[in-house]
Structure 1
């Protein structure tokens, strides 16, 4: 069912008034009145989007460095994006696709995937050798690498912390595939994602869409670059959340893009906006689950027992998928994997029980452990 406000997708001031607005830069903790479907909790420099049951269904990842220092990295990465686009050649049709708005924007991709018409697992191919070389140079630029990997670096772990089970699923699947297929092209060091797409601007503003080829119970990482006033445009609209988010250059956001309709609001004339999206195609997970073959090949050789087992797995798929989205109350006590809270308390791994969510109560607070002497 289409959102009733889709006709106003390109009017940020209207959407700020009629949707929940997350003024991210001001560290504002938004808590809408019931029966709103979600709210945002402040977690150090990063904010999370949670549903009514406290599941984390989005993460707004703040920059890891002070303003001016990070701004220089963002500006350099923006310059690298602009130069890469100028080195590439695109047919007219490359600017206009289902995600593009107005004059459109070209894209470039790298990594590996399965599905979308592919008969086999393989690397994503550029439209020309010239474009492939420019894309390779762009993804090796140190400022682009810094911008795209700060949410997954060892010393700054919002993805692992806030989406541990999803991260583990992505990381394990990627490692299994790369070990079995050494020729697969990786994107960034330590990245759990199999592929990256860059929206090369100069006005990378997307229409409302979902990325149906991505994993439904997963997250994609969106990074914004460019030079634009984030108060006036470039906001990320998550239509299924009734939420519009201030999304300034140099910040990143994790959302389940396969199931959440999202878009950007337009930027002003003369401004630039680029974006970098990291993701893993859902077909890769099915390829591994099928014993490194397609659904068609698996079905051709599946026994009656295999089909019965697959049907039972299908019935539990939705419930199993929801379990991968962690609860905020577990993350607050560093219970990133979602193991039983009593087990966490017994191990003494308790740090913060303030700001309990609506799904918690003071009765859940464990007794303080006495210091042993």
Structure 2
């Protein structure tokens, strides 16, 4: 299921212009090794922020950037206009999927309490992490495997492009193609729905902020703040059977969290 949040008003549009400018400036200032271009989602620059668990980590932690890029990313996160976008996507998730929003909020609070070295990405936002996709962000067909399977990622689109001719959002698994105007957000189950964007013209710019919650954080918390590997090594037969049974019924948990009431 794909939902668009479509704000309006001069104040929001003014906020969007400031976000556009900030992301374009980050695109000019960031230094990206050639080995990181392109990424698996497309031939654009992307920088991570927030926290997650997986990909060889031994415990949850903040996503890393280079010494040059880290302060640039933090400066983006500290901007009031970008923080307003974070609160906007948080409010949208709460409005459409209140149970999932409560789950995300509780999970993030528990992770941050257990790992005080992790700095919260945004106040007033239930998402644990985001990717800053810069300048010409048009994605190829992909799924985001490391995100919570039944979760809804939020993608805020930014830039100067003709949304009637380019930058469309495609949810291949659902058979949906939709216009995706700047200063709007889409909510999509990105781990299980193949999705992409149509390219923009060479004279256009398009950035995005993709908010997500790492599935590894949910597993870490569910295991009692240890990894799957460590849990299975420590668990009794009864505990392991219960663990496997809970995993087999995870889809039921997901369906319940996606219901409005």
- Shorter-chain TM-score category? over 0.9
Which residue does the alignment assign to 2:81? 143
What SS is found at the alignment partner of 2:36?
helix
Which residue does the alignment assign to 1:168? 102
Question: Which of 119, 122, 137 lines up with 2:61 in the alignment?
Answer: 122
Decide which moves more: 85-94 or 251-260. 85-94
Question: Which of 62, 66, 75 lines up with 2:6 in the alignment?
Answer: 62
* Aligned 8 A contact 1:94 1:105 in 2: no
* Aligned 8 A contact 2:60 2:115 in 1: no
Rounded to whole Å, the distance in 2 between the matches of 1:321 and 1:297 is 25
* Aligned 8 A contact 1:287 1:293 in 2: yes
Rounded to whole Å, the distance in 1 between the matches of 2:172 and 2:62 is 32
What SS is found at the alignment partner of 2:217?
helix
Rounded to whole Å, the distance in 1 between the matches of 2:168 and 2:35 is 26
Instruction: Give the superposition deviation at 1:177.
Output: 1.0
Question: Which of 259, 263, 287 lines up with 2:220 in the alignment?
Answer: 287
C-alpha RMSD over aligned residues: 1.3
Which residue does the alignment assign to 1:92? 34
Rounded to whole Å, the distance in 1 between the matches of 2:96 and 2:173 is 20
Which residue does the alignment assign to 1:107? 46
Which residue does the alignment assign to 1:275? 208
**Structure 1: gaps spanning 5 or more residues:** 1-56, 327-335, 339-373
Rounded to whole Å, the distance in 1 between the matches of 2:186 and 2:219 is 26
- Structure with bigger RCO (C-alpha 8 Å, 6+ apart): 2
Instruction: Give the superposition deviation at 1:322.
Output: 1.5
* Aligned 8 A contact 1:122 1:184 in 2: yes
* Aligned 8 A contact 1:186 1:195 in 2: no
Normalising to structure 2: TM-score of the pair? 0.96
Q: How many equivalent pairs are there?
A: 261
Q: Greater helix percent: which structure?
A: 2
**Structure 2: gaps spanning 5 or more residues:** none
* Aligned 8 A contact 1:215 1:280 in 2: yes
Rounded to whole Å, the distance in 2 between the matches of 1:222 and 1:75 is 17
What SS is found at the alignment partner of 1:112?
strand
Query: C-alpha deviations, 1:230-272, integer Å up to 9, x for none?
Result: 0000010000110011100000011110000000001112000
What SS is found at the alignment partner of 1:167?
helix
Instruction: Give the superposition deviation at 1:319.
Output: 2.1
What SS is found at the alignment partner of 2:258?
coil
